[in-house]
Amino acid sequence: MPPLAELFTFALALIAAGAVAGVLAGLFGIGGGAILVPVFVQLFTLLGIGQDVAMHLALGTSLAIIVPTSIRSFLSHRKRGAVDTGLLRAWIVAVPLGVLAASVIAAYVSGRTLMLIFATMALAMALRMFLNRESWRVANDLPRHPALFAYGTVLGTLSGLMGIGGGVFNNIFMTLHGRSIHQAVATSSGLGVLISIPGLIGYVWAGWGEPGRPPFSTGYINWIAVALIIPVTLLVAPLGVRLAHALKRRQLEIGFGIFLVLISARFFQTALGQ
C-alpha cells in the first residue's frame, strides 16, 4: 500500500483533474477523457495495479464519468439552441455501434496496445490543435449516408478506445464541413452522451471477472474514482459552456495541444519501454 501522503496527493490530483475536465467538457464539447485517462493510469499504477488492467480501468472509468458531464453540458448548450440535433439523430446507431466495437477490441488487446493507440491519437489531435485554421474547409455541408454513418462508426470506435467523448474528432469534422465552431462544440456535448453510455456498458462487459482489479470495480469501471470526480465535473461544466461562448479559443487550443504532446510522449515511453 502506498504511503498515505502519496494517496492524498493523488486524490487532490484527481479532484483537480475533474475540475479541468469539467471545464473542458463545456469549453470544447469534450468529456474530459484526454485529461482523466493519463491521471487514472498513474493513480492505478501507484496503487499496485498491473499495467494492462490499469489502462483498461482508466478508459472504462473515464467513460463512466463522461456520462453525467456530457448530459449536463448537452442540456446547457441545447438551451442556447446551438445543437445540431439532426446530426445526432443520424448518428444514434452508428456512434454507439462503434463504441461497442471498441469495447470488444478492448476485451482482447493488451493495455500496452491501448496505450499506443491513445498516444498516437493524442499526438494527431495535438497536431490538429497546433495547425488549426477556422477557414479550412473540405465541403460546405455534412456528407450524406452512407459516408456519414461510416464516419460516425469510426468516430465511436476511436473514442471508445481512447476513453473520450469524441468532441475533438467531431469538432474537426463539423468545422471542416462548413459548420461554426460554436455549433460543433454544442453538438459534441450531445455526442458525448451517445459515446459514454454504451461505453460504460461495454467496458463493464469487457472487464467482467477480470483478475487484478481494485475494490469497488464493476468490470473496468472503478466506482471510487467515479465518485470522487463526478461532483466536481458537474459543478464546473456550465462554466466551460459560458467560456465557450465568450472567449477566443486559439490560446486554449495551443495549451491543450501541448498537454496532449506531453501525454503522448509519456505513454509512448511507457508502452515501448515494456
pLDDT digits (tens, 9 = 90+) for 178-187: 888 778 888 8
Q: How confident is the model at residue 249 (pLDDT cuts 50, 70, 90)?
A: low
| Residue scoring higher pLDDT (165 or 195) | 195
Peptide bond into 215 cis (omega under 30): no
The Cα 130–Cα 150 span in angstroms is 27
Q: How confident is the model at residue 46 (pLDDT cuts 50, 70, 90)?
A: confident
176: part of which helix (H) or strand (E)? helix 167-176
How many helices (H) and strands (E) would you count in the chain? Answer: 11, 2
Give φ, ψ of 166 to 5 degrees: 80, 5
pLDDT one-digit tens code per residue, 106-162: 999 999 999 999 999 989 888 887 887 666 777 788 888 899 999 999 999 999 999
Q: Which of 26-30, 72-76, 239-243 has the lowest mean pLDDT?
A: 26-30
What is the rounded average pLDDT of the residues 156-185? 86
The Cα 69–Cα 232 span in angstroms is 10
| Residue scoring higher pLDDT (194 or 68) | 194
Cell, residue 128: 490538429
| Residue scoring higher pLDDT (185 or 64) | 64
Q: Which domain covers residue 242, as residue numbers?
A: 4-272
Question: Would you say residue 103 has pLDDT above 80?
Answer: yes
- Pairing type for strands 217-218 and 221-222 reads antiparallel
Q: Which pLDDT value is given to residue 127?
A: 87
Residue 42 and residue 61 in contact, taking contact as beta carbons nearer than 8 Å: no
The Cα 189–Cα 210 span in angstroms is 32
Domain count, the chain: 1
Question: Would you say residue 31 has pLDDT above 90?
Answer: no
The Cα 214–Cα 218 span in angstroms is 10
Q: Which pLDDT value is given to residue 30?
A: 63
Q: Which pLDDT value is given to residue 134?
A: 64
36 to each of 8, 66, 157, 185, how far by Cα in Å?
17, 10, 19, 19
Q: How confident is the model at residue 6 (pLDDT cuts 50, 70, 90)?
A: low
